[in-house]
């Protein structure tokens, strides 16, 4: 297949290499094509074995999409609307557009294109953990054994699973409804609970002597909040009882860790998480919050806020999610809560369902069924 990958970051680089290794022609659309090499080196994190992959063309020009059989978007969710607007004139409606990962309110942001007949699909998680070691040239990765997928229109789901299996050479399982993808408790809970546990008592202007390892220094408070917020998400899933959301796997099951201590041990020892630092930048020789990091700009407004939005519709209490969102409100200046509830003015800049005409239980069921 001719595949266009939009985004030259960690995931985009890794999947480009993997797909070419599996026999496909790969094109990269990126803002920085001049920094790319047509030959990139992929190194497996576990075996340390490497291979070279060939990229057929690197460009910023959307015209490349006209020759592509499938498009995979790996950029942050907050860029998705602009990207879809940009590429739409160059796409055939029959060309599937995949979002990796497909969380973040993809179904709302792409709603107009879905209604116009475009094929939009999302993966529940990334197909590999990846770290660029030299931009546009070298990447290390650890491919997963499986992913799950759901598409609009729904009848395209199985066909697209077959394509993804061929592209990545892993198992791809179909999901019954897209809300299962949206609720996948990956970064929106994993990152936000950890950030709260690390920085909860720090003023927005606080600085640190050194950057903290995000996963290797994972502690029991991080696990406690992770499990608590994940439990609240499961309660929301149960409340949405006219949709089958059993596919939203609890993190205690996903990580095979059912106690706080077991979760701390598990996450702090995951090989692919080794060496990952916290979202900080240096200032005057010390480290401060990097509020422009995707950990903040994506995982709160396009992650945890969405879960809270559905919780509001189905009258589910989420005390721990509220604590974390209110903490983010304090350090970022965004206003999500007022004295009367989850109705702050800055919610218009998030991907909560209410921003897209979904206000009632009936609206939810109609949209996802």
What is the C-alpha end-to-end distance of the chain, expressed in Å? Answer: 31
**pLDDT interval class at 23 (50, 70, 90):** very high
Q: What pLDDT is stored for residue 334 in this prediction?
A: 96
Would you list the DSSP string of 123-183?
Answer: ESS-SEEEEEEETTTEEEEEE-SEEEEEEESGGGHHHHHHHHHHHHTSEEEE-S-HHHHHT
Q: Which helix (H) or strand (E) holds 71?
A: strand 70-73
Task: For strands 25-29 and 2-6, give the pairing.
Answer: parallel
Mean pLDDT within 273-302: 94
Cα gap 364→274, rounded to integer Å: 39
Mean pLDDT within 226-254: 97
Model's pTM, two decimal places? 0.94
Q: What pLDDT is stored for residue 67 in this prediction?
A: 94
pLDDT at 50 over 90: yes
Q: How many CA atoms lie within 13 A of 99 on its CB side?
A: 29
**pLDDT interval class at 272 (50, 70, 90):** confident
Residues 91 and 97: beta-carbon distance below 8 Å = yes
Mean pLDDT within 299-321: 98
Helix-then-strand count for the chain, H and E: 14, 14
CB-neighbour burial class of residue 292 (10 A; exposed 0-12, middle 13-18, buried 19+) = exposed
Mean pLDDT within 321-333: 96
Q: What pLDDT is stored for residue 205 in this prediction?
A: 85
Could you identify the residue written with the tokens 């809300």?
Answer: 179
pLDDT at 116 over 90: yes
pLDDT in tens, 185-239: 999 999 999 999 999 988 888 899 999 999 999 999 999 999 999 999 999 999 9
Q: What pLDDT is stored for residue 194 in this prediction?
A: 97
Q: What pLDDT is stored for residue 20 in this prediction?
A: 98
Distances (CA, A) of 133 to 9, 28, 43, 138, 288: 10, 18, 10, 5, 23
pLDDT in tens, 132-148: 999 999 999 999 999 99
pLDDT at 369 over 90: no
Could you identify the residue written with the tokens 């609009």?
Answer: 152
With a CB cutoff of 8 Å and minimum separation 6, the contacts of 281 are: 287, 288, 290
Q: Which helix (H) or strand (E) holds 295?
A: helix 294-297
């Amino acid at each position: 297949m001719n595949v266009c990958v939009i985004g030259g970051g960690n995931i985009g680089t890794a999947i480009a290499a993997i797909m070419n290794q599996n026999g496909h022609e790969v094109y990269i659309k990126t803002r920085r094509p001049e920094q790319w090499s047509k030959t990139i080196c992929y190194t497996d994190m576990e075996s340390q074995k490497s291979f070279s992959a060939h990229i057929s063309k690197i460009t910023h020009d959307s015209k490349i999409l006209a020759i592509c059989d499938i498009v995979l978007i790996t950029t942050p969710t907050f860029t998705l609307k602009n990207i879809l607007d940009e590429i739409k004139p160059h796409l055939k409606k029959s060309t599937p557009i995949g979002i990796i990962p497909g969380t973040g309110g993809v179904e709302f942001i792409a709603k107009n294109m879905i209604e116009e007949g475009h094929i939009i699909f999302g993966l529940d998680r990334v197909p590999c953990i990846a770290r660029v070691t030299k931009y546009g040239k070298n990447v290390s990765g650890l491919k997963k054994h499986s992913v799950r997928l759901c598409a609009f229109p729904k009848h395209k789901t199985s066909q697209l699973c077959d394509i993804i299996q061929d592209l990545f050479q892993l198992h791809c399982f179909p999901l019954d409804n897209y809300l299962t993808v949206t609720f996948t408790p990956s970064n929106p809970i994993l990152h936000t609970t950890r950030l709260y546990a690390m920085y909860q008592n720090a003023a927005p202007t606080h600085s640190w002597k050194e950057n903290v390892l995000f996963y290797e220094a994972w502690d029991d408070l991080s696990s406690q909040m992770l499990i608590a917020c994940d439990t609240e998400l499961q309660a929301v899933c149960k409340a949405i009882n006219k949709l089958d959301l059993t596919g939203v796997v609890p993190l205690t099951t996903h990580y095979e860790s059912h106690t706080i201590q077991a979760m701390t041990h598990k996450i702090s020892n995951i090989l692919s998480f080794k060496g990952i630092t916290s979202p900080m930048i240096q200032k005057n020789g010390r480290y401060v919050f990097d509020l422009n990091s995707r950990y903040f700009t994506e995982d709160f407004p396009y992650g945890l806020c969405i879960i809270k939005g559905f919780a509001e519709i189905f009258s589910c209490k989420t005390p721990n999610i509220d604590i974390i969102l209110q903490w983010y409100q304090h350090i970022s200046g965004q206003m999500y809560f007022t004295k009367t509830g989850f109705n702050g003015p800055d919610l218009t800049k998030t991907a909560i369902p209410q921003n897209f005409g979904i206000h009632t239980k009936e609206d939810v069921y109609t949209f996802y069924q």
